[in-house]
Amino acid sequence: DVKVTQSSRYLVKRTGEKVFLECVQDMDHENMFWYRQDPGLGLRLIYFSYDVKMKEKGDIPEGYSVSREKKERFSLILESASTNQTSMYLCASTKDRVRTGELFFGEGSRLTVL
């Protein structure tokens, strides 16, 4: 079975802390994504990557960075967490371009910044 694993389901951090959210997929997918999900706003794309060491900004990249050193792993980094980054973060991957392919999602990481 296809699997996307996010390292932490729940995190609580303090303002100003550096936060790492890890995502690993076991499907040999080229494309990986980070979305954040907020009530009333749906899912918004933060960053995505279509190859190792490649990254592209999504709609809301400010305050975030990413790292893709290996094909199976895509990390989201909050350099200095702020309270407005309290959210649910969803990682996803796909092999094909999503015109025909399917995105596979992890279970999400709920981050609270105090």
In the complex, the residues that contact another protein under the rule CB under 8 A are 4, 31, 33, 35, 40-45, 48, 50, 56, 58, 90, 92, 94, 97-100, 102-103, 105-108
Whole-number minimum distance, CB 80 to another protein, in Å? 26
Whole-number minimum distance, CB 31 to another protein, in Å? 5
Whole-number minimum distance, CB 36 to another protein, in Å? 11
Strands 10-13 and 109-113: parallel
- Identify the DSSP state of 96: S
- Identify the DSSP state of 53: T
Q: Are 1 and 99 in contact (CB under 8 A)?
A: no
